[in-house]
Amino acid sequence: MKHHQFLLCLALLGVILLWSGCDDEDLTDPDCTVDIPVISTNVLCGNEPYYFENLDEPQAGNLPSLPFNCTTSGMERIVRIDEPADGDFYLQLYVGVAATVHFQVFGANCEDNVVPITGCLQSDAVAVSERIVSANDFEDVYVVIDYTLFTSANHLADYVLGPDEFIGVAAIDELPQTDAIDYRDQSSTYEGPGRLAFSCDGGTFQRVIIGSCNNKADVYAWAREMGLPISEAYQGEGGTTVALDIPEGMSPNAVGGMGDKPLTKPRRPKADSSDFFIEEDYIIEVSTLGNGLFDGNDISIPEEALPCLAYQPRNGSRPGGGNVIVNMIDSGIEIGGAFNDDFQGFIYQDEYESAFAQPGLFGFDYLRGDFEPNDEIGHGTATAGTVIGDYRGDAPLTVFHSKIFGINGLASYFGAVVATNEAVDMKSTIINMSWGIPLEEAPQALTCAVQRAASQGVVIVTTAGNENANIDAAPQWPGAFGLQNGFENVITVASMQYPNNNIDEDPVKASFSNFSNQRVNVAAYLTSQSPAFMATDLDDFDYIGGTSISAPLITRSLAAYLGPNGGGLALWTAERLERSSQLNSLGQVYEGLYLPVCSGF
């Protein structure tokens, strides 16, 4: 017996020794035959969703058996999340169907040891981002997704499933760190976020804009149907515009349906929806010194032109009406500086009042939400200084400052659209826009606002841009509206200069200026004298160069022919403009039209 016990002990010892000599790698898991889409989490920006289509058909493949305890339609979809770095990740759903989505996350080893990581979650939003934690205890992480179509009990209609509807799934390990601009001040009475974050790719803000040119359309109903938080909203005579926040790390382009997958189309209201639009909240960048603008002190200005470009303001605003009103949608005006008294002489004094316009004030700050449009970068001070610098009309001149650009030289598209509509409402004579949005197609909300300005007889003067580009091929807006049918109120301005510094010769296009004889109405000189930003005394002037200055040169000349001054565009063209054979023959400006630097002297 003892002999047998001894042999048994030796055998057991051998087994133990053999076991201890095996590596974990020598042990293989049973084959997992699950066949479902795998979602990667290792891309922080631009993670392309996996799209489930044909939502009325069962998912193909060998699906794991999971205890999904949400409301089910029998058409649930399952994905596997691939190796979250630390076990935590953000699940992203792009919901291109008018439905409540139900979803649940499970951990497992293939189909064994299945454990729910979350309970049943649900959302009515078109974009869903959910942080999932403690997924690192499992070899496999599965997400089950199902949907319930909206009904008229809680939504706009009893929706039916369309043939092109879908659910997109993506995931990221962590939220991207993006830049932002300061926005609403806490003391402001106007609602809005304290900061506006950039999208992941930095091209837009992290929100979309929905709206309609029809002021009777119920845009708010559409916003509710989208299920996203309202960032801020505007409603006026020109229609309704609503900004909706997009979850961090998700693509505003994908959510807005501007790509191949129109997320929002299934949720449009069934009535009066044809004139609704949705766009990204584009980041608008204004030209600054070294970035589109240059120091005009470094260029040679013809001696004969200096008196014609001199800053000599006159005929400021008066109470009681009868003013020509120029609305500068720009970066504001320097308040409290050396030239404050000059600028004060042109403040708004008409009777019209609104949430954005009050008599006796400089204008409105659409960033901070207050009535102090104080310039932080100098661009607005230079453009407004150019307008008042040599205005020669008989009627008094008002310059209203609609500040949309802040300290970074950036503005939101939402702010630009609201400022344009408000400029029309206050019966501006001219709106000066020394900026542009580079897009292949015209942005819809801005198109509505510009066309509305035309219907009210408001002229818009804007820049061609400073990239030495043909804006037929590389359009920027509103400049590319110039000379187009239905936009006869838009005057797009290029910059010109005189060869050999001789103002008697035909001018040529400034080297930096954009051009197009199909879209650019007129050229003006490339610089003018204006008060220096943060000047220390009244002898402190600048010559800033760029189409940003050429446009207000046209504005101040044209202002003497519009509004209470009478005349009109045709008379101004006949009396003030000339034709350059160079600008015409090279196809740079319509019929080679330009404003001579000393026109009117």
Domain ranges of the chain: 38-172, 180-284, 295-594
Q: The domain 295-594: what is its CATH number?
A: 3.40.50.200
* Residue 359: predicted pLDDT: 96
Look up the pTM and report it: 0.91
Q: What's the DSSP call for residue 477?
A: E
| 389 SS3 class | helix
* Residue 348: predicted pLDDT: 97
Which residues have a Cβ under 8 Å from the Cβ of 211 and sit 6 or more positions away?
A: 219, 239, 240, 241, 242, 276, 277, 417, 445, 448
Residue 22 — pLDDT band, cuts 50, 70, 90?
A: very low
pLDDT at 269 over 70: no
Describe the chain by its helix, strand, coil percentages, rounded to 5: 20, 30, 50
pLDDT at 7 over 50: no
**Residue that wins the pLDDT comparison between 29 and 421:** 421
Distance of CA 57 to the CA centre of its chain: 38
Neighbours of 324 (CB within 10 A): 26
* Residue 3: predicted pLDDT: 45
pLDDT at 593 over 70: yes
The predicted model gives 419-443 an average pLDDT of 97
* Residue 268: predicted pLDDT: 66
Residue 42 — pLDDT band, cuts 50, 70, 90?
A: confident
Give yes or no for a contact between 151 and 158, defined as CB atoms under 8 angstroms apart: yes
Question: Mean pLDDT of all residues in the chain?
Answer: 90
Report which of 520, 435, 451 is spatially closest to residue 489, judged by C-alpha positions. 451
Burial of 312 (0-12, 13-18, 19+ CB in 10 A): exposed
pLDDT tens digit sequence for 469-503 = 999 999 999 999 999 999 999 999 999 999 999 99
CA separation for the pair 587, 585 (Å, rounded): 5
Q: Is the dihedral of CA 180, 258, 453, 484 positive or negative?
A: positive
Q: Tell me the range of 21-25, 110-114, 307-311 where mean pLDDT is highest.
A: 307-311
Report which of 348, 354, 340, 345 is spatially closest to residue 324, judged by C-alpha positions. 348
pLDDT tens digit sequence for 207-243 = 999 999 888 888 999 999 999 999 999 999 998 999 9
* Residue 162: predicted pLDDT: 85
The predicted model gives 382-401 an average pLDDT of 97
* Residue 215: predicted pLDDT: 86
Q: What angle do CA 442, 445, 450 make, to 5 degrees?
A: 75
The predicted model gives 335-353 an average pLDDT of 97
pLDDT at 9 over 50: no
Report which of 504, 503, 492 is spatially closest to residue 463, judged by C-alpha positions. 492
Residue 273 — pLDDT band, cuts 50, 70, 90?
A: low
* Residue 601: predicted pLDDT: 58
Give yes or no for a contact between 592 and 580, defined as CB atoms under 8 angstroms apart: yes
Residue 157 — pLDDT band, cuts 50, 70, 90?
A: confident
Give yes or no for a contact between 433 and 450, defined as CB atoms under 8 angstroms apart: no
Which residues have a Cβ under 8 Å from the Cβ of 166 and sit 6 or more positions away?
A: 51, 52, 53, 55, 94, 96, 97, 261
pLDDT at 416 over 50: yes
Residues taking part in catalysis:
330, 379, 548
In CATH, 180-284 is 3.30.70: yes
Lowest mean pLDDT among 246-250, 253-257, 452-456, 512-516: 253-257
pLDDT at 79 over 90: yes
pLDDT tens digit sequence for 174-201 = 898 899 999 987 777 788 899 999 998 8
Proportion of the chain above pLDDT 90, given as a percent: 73
CA separation for the pair 341, 127 (Å, rounded): 51
Q: What's the DSSP call for residue 415?
A: H
The CATH number of 38-172, from 2.60.120, 2.60.40, 3.30.1310, 2.30.30, is: 2.60.120
pLDDT at 272 over 60: no
* Residue 258: predicted pLDDT: 59
